[in-house]
Amino acid sequence: MLERQPRNKTDFQPLDWRRSDRDDIMARIAAAGLIGMGGAGFPVVAKLRSGIQYAASTIIANGVECEPGVNADRALLRHYLPDVLEGLRIAGACLAKPALILAVSDQSIYQAFVDKGELGITCRLVADAPSNGEERTLIGSLFSDEIPTTRYPSQCGYIVFNVATLFAICEAVRDGSRPRDRLVTLFGEETWVELDTKLGDIGQTGATLRLGSTATGRMASNDDVVSLTTNAVEHGIDDQQRACIHCGWCDAVCPRHLPVEAMLRQIQSATRPITLSSEVNACFECGACVVQCPSAIPLLDLLRSAKREVENERRKQVADLRFQQHTVRAAETIKQESITRSTRIETRRQW
C-alpha cells in the first residue's frame, strides 16, 4: 500500500448512501467541493445534474491513463480499486440505473477486476494509445459513438468521471471526508501529496517545473501548489529545446489530424493574426505531438498561448464590430435628430 498520512477526523457524518436519496448524496458531494480530478476541474455535481437532465444512461470510470510517464491513476486502481468502484456505484445512485463501466488500458488491472468479479459493473480494456483517455475519444473507442465538439458527453447520454474523482466521491460520501490529498506522479514516483503543498516545499525542485506531465503539463514555479487536478509534477523540457527539423512526426501522430508543424510555423512567425485559428482551437491538448517531437519543442505551451491569442483576437473583432455598429447607430440618431429639428424650424417658419 502507498504511504498516506492518516486522517484523524472526518468533516461530515458518514452517509449510508444505499439508503439515502439522490438529493442527500448530491448535497454531500457539493459540500465536499468535489471537482473532476482528471484535469478539467468541472464541478462533479454540475456534471451529475446534467446527466439527470439529459437522462444519461452510462457512467464511465475513466482509468485510461495516456500521458507518458504518469501512473497516478494506475496506482490508485491497483491499491484502491474497491473504493473507486464504490465511488462509481455512488455516482450511479444519482442517476436512473445507468450502466456502470470501468475503462482501463492496463492489462493487469483489467485482470484484477475480472478475477474479483464485480456485480453490476463492466470492465473494458482500451488500447494504451496517446489521447485514448480523452473523454470523447474514450466514448468513441468504447461505443463507436461520436460526440460533437459542440455538445457535452452528458448531453449525449454519457457521464465520464476520472477514477481519482470517483475515489474522492467515495471518501466524501461513505467516510464523510473532504479531499485533503491526492495521488500524484511526483518526479516519476507515485506519491500521496497534501493539497495546497507548494512545489518549492516538495523537496526536489529545479529551474524548470511542470504541473502535469512533461507532455501536457504547464510551466510552474516553486510557488505553484498541488491542487485536485494535479496528476503529476515533472521537470520541464525547455532546457533541451532545439529548432524544428521538419520531420513531420507531430502531424503523423496527432489524433485530430491537425497540421501541427504548419501551426508551429505560424505561431513562431511574426505574421498576425493567426489564420489557422480553427485548427488551433481544435487541439484538445493530448500532448501526443510533444512526446513525439525529436527537437523537444514545447508544442503544447505554444499551442495554448496561441489559443489565448486567437481568443483575444476574436474578442477584439467582436468589440470592433460592436463599436462600428454603435458608431453607425449614433450617427443615424444624430442625423434623425437634425432632420427632426430642421423640420420643426421649417414648420414654425411657415406659421
Closest approach of ligand SF4 to the CB of residue 131, in Å: 6
Q: Does 138 bind ligand SF4 (CB under 6 A)?
A: no
Is 170 near ligand SF4 (CB under 6 A)?
no
**Segment lying near ligand SF4 (by CB under 6 A), choices 79-87, 202-210, 249-257, 317-325:** 249-257
In order, the DSSP letters of 83-121 are: HHHHHHHHHHHTSSS-EEEEEES-HHHHHHHHHH--TTE
Work out whether 295 is an interface residue with ligand SF4 (CB under 6 A): yes
Nearer to ligand SF4, 111 or 268 (CB): 268
Among 48, 138, 286, 310, binds ligand SF4 (CB under 6 A): 286
Residue 170 or 303 with smaller CB distance to ligand SF4? 303
When the beta carbons of 119 and 243 are compared against ligand SF4, the nearer one is 243
Which residue among 44, 77, 91, 264 contacts ligand SF4 (CB under 6 A)?
264
State whether the Cα torsion 114-118-122-124 is positive or negative: negative
In the chain, where does DSSP find H-type helix? 22-31, 44-53, 72-93, 107-116, 135-143, 163-170, 249-253, 260-268, 277-282, 288-292, 299-350
Q: Which is nearer to ligand SF4, 46 or 245 (CB)?
A: 245
Q: Which of 45, 287, 298, 310 touches ligand SF4 by CB under 6 A?
A: 287
Smallest separation (angstroms) from ligand SF4 to the CB of 279: 8
Region of 71-79, 172-180, 201-209, 291-299 interacting with ligand SF4 (CB under 6 A): 291-299
| Amino acid present at 164 | A
Closest contact distance (angstroms) between CB of 285 and ligand SF4 is 5
User: Of residues 7, 248, 273, 342, which one binds ligand SF4 by CB under 6 A?
Assistant: 248
Q: Which neighbouring-strand residues pair with 184?
A: 191
- 336, three cell numbers: 434623425
Q: Residue 109 CB, nearest distance to ligand SF4 (Å)?
A: 25
Write each residue from 300 to 329 as x if it is in contact with ligand SF4 (CB under 6 A), else as -, in one continuous string.
x--x--------------------------
Tell me, rounded to whole angstroms, the distance of Cα 194 from its chain centroid.
Answer: 21
By CB under 6 A, what part of segment 217-246 binds ligand SF4? Answer: 244-246
Residues 6+ apart with CB under 8 A from 42: 35, 36
Task: Please state whether 172 falls in left (phi above 0), alpha (psi between -120 and 50) or beta.
Answer: alpha
Nearer to ligand SF4, 228 or 264 (CB): 264
189 exposed, middle or buried (CB, 10 Å; 0-12, 13-18, 19+)?
exposed
Listed in sequence order, the residues at least 6 apart from 184 whose beta carbon sits closer than 8 Å to its beta carbon are 72, 190, 191, 192, 193, 226, 230, 231, 232, 233
Helix (H, G, I), strand (E, B), or coil: what is residue 272?
A: coil
- For residue 59, give the amino acid letter: I
Gap between the Cα atoms of 334 and 186, Å rounded: 65
| 26-34, 192-200, 281-289, 343-351 -> range binding ligand SF4 (CB under 6 A) | 281-289
Query: Which residues sit at the interface with ligand SF4, rule CB under 6 A?
Result: 244-250, 253-254, 256, 258, 260-261, 264, 283-289, 292-295, 297, 299-300, 303
